[in-house]
Each structure stands twice: as C-alpha cells, then as structure tokens.
Amino acid sequence: MLEGVEGLAVLAATLCTWPLSKRWLKNWGSSPAERGRAWPGDRYVAVEHDTRTRAIDIAAPAGAVWPWIVQFGLDRAGFYSYELLERLAGIPVTNLESIEPSMQSVAVGDEVRLHPKAPGIPVAHLEPGRSICFGESDAAGSAASRPDPARSWSIYLEPAAARSCRLLVRGCIEPLREPSWRKRLSLAFDGPLDFVMEQRMLRTIKRLAESRSPDEAGQS
C-alpha cells in the first residue's frame, strides 16, 4: 500500500512539473560521458533519434546485479517498479524479490512481454553480465514494417570497482514519421511515465542487490 501511494504521488508530481523538470529527469542520475557515449542498443534505431539515459550506483559487483536483470519481464520476475501503477495499466504483474533459477536463461531473439495485450519485445543484443538490449535487430528495415516511432530499450551494467557498479537504463526513440495528434499526445505522456517507472526499477534493483550477503554476492 505504501509503495502504491508513493507511486501515485511521484506520478502526480512528475506530470505537473514535467515541462520544467524534463531536462533533468530525462537523464536522471547519468553523467555527461554516459549520455554521450555510443551504446550497443543505439544501433537498433535510425541514426537520427532521441535518447534518455538514467543510472544509479550500486554497492555490489555487477555479477550480483545481473541475476535480477536477466529475469525481468511479465510472466517472469516482473518489472521491479510500482505494482499498483502497473495493475492500473492492466498489467497483472507480481514483482518478485528473489532470484529464480528457472528464469536465469534468455537469448537473442527471445521476446520479453511487457503487457498481456501487446506483443513481446525481442532481445536484439545480449552480453551476459553486462547488457541486454531490446529492439528490432534490422534497423535498416523498411519504414512500413517498423513501429512509428521505432524504439530500443536497454539495460547496462558497468563495473565501477571490485565490489560496485553502475546500472543504466537507456531508451532510444526515432522521430515520428506520421506526427498525428494522437501519437504526439501519447508520446507526451510516455516521457513522465517512463521516468516514474524506471527510477523505481533502478532503486529496487539497487536495494535487492545490496541486500544480499557478501557471500552470496561473491558467488554470483
């Protein structure tokens, strides 16, 4: 219940302040170097695209964080975000707070579902322990066969020291080919909603990874 109240409060505050706070929240927690760097998932959208990069420090080695990331998804471990908001959006998700051995396998080409009424998003790039990128692998495909706007969404782990790392979420989105008012309105709401859910996801994974015992982390 408290998590749901927090989610609703953060969502309301973000929606009300987005015109002023967008510049900061769009790249919440990330450094200029991280924002300007070319990442593997960037290649799954056209050269001309907009990006958002969000990041958090985790006092645990990358190997201890990866098991939480690899089990991400609907019908898997969930999204580590605000469960109440997800359910209000029609997503019957249960966010797990344990590492499930049966969910530790994913491969390029697998589809991870985000919504029960939407097709899964394909894994386009995978580097175990370091990165997983979702998007269409054929970035040069015909415009008619690609969503409008086409997107990629990726999670990265960057070791920072022996027992710490950076966790980053990066989204790339192409310009609208047919900028109808419906699509413009949808994108206007996507920005603040993405921030609300992604910052919670990053904070939850940080909490879960850091709460493991040193022995467990060392075995990852």
* Residue 178: CATH number of its domain: 3.30.530.20
Share of the chain above pLDDT 70, in %: 92
Alpha helices in 60-180, H assignment, sequence order: 62-70, 83-88
Q: Which residues have CB under 8 Å from 118's CB, separation 6+?
A: none
**Cβ count within 10 A of residue 115:** 14
Q: Give CA separation, 146 vs 90, 118, 139, 149, 190, in Å.
A: 25, 15, 9, 8, 19
Check residue 161 and give its pLDDT. 82
Task: In whole angstroms, give the CA distance from residue 178 to residue 175.
Answer: 9
- The DSSP secondary-structure symbol of 6 reads H
CB of 157 within 8 A of CB of 65? Answer: yes
Q: Which residues have CB under 8 Å from 28's CB, separation 6+?
A: 54, 55, 195, 198, 199
Check residue 142 and give its pLDDT. 54
Check residue 213 and give its pLDDT. 45
- Which residues does the chain have with pLDDT short of 50? 140, 213-215, 217-220
> Which domain range does residue 71 map to?
2-219
Tokens of 139: 């970035």
pTM: 0.90
Tokens of 13: 């505050």
Task: In whole angstroms, give the CA distance from residue 83 to residue 211.
Answer: 20
3 state DSSP class of 170 = strand
- Which among 116, 175, 189, 182 has a CA at the least distance from the CA of 147? 175
Residue with tokens 């969930």: 78
Task: In whole angstroms, give the CA distance from residue 34 to residue 144.
Answer: 32
Check residue 144 and give its pLDDT. 59
Residue with tokens 């997983």: 132
- State which H helix or E strand residue 55 sits in: strand 50-58
Check residue 162 and give its pLDDT. 80
How many independent structural domains does the chain possess? 1
Task: In whole angstroms, give the CA distance from residue 200 to residue 96.
Answer: 14
Mean pLDDT of the chain: 90
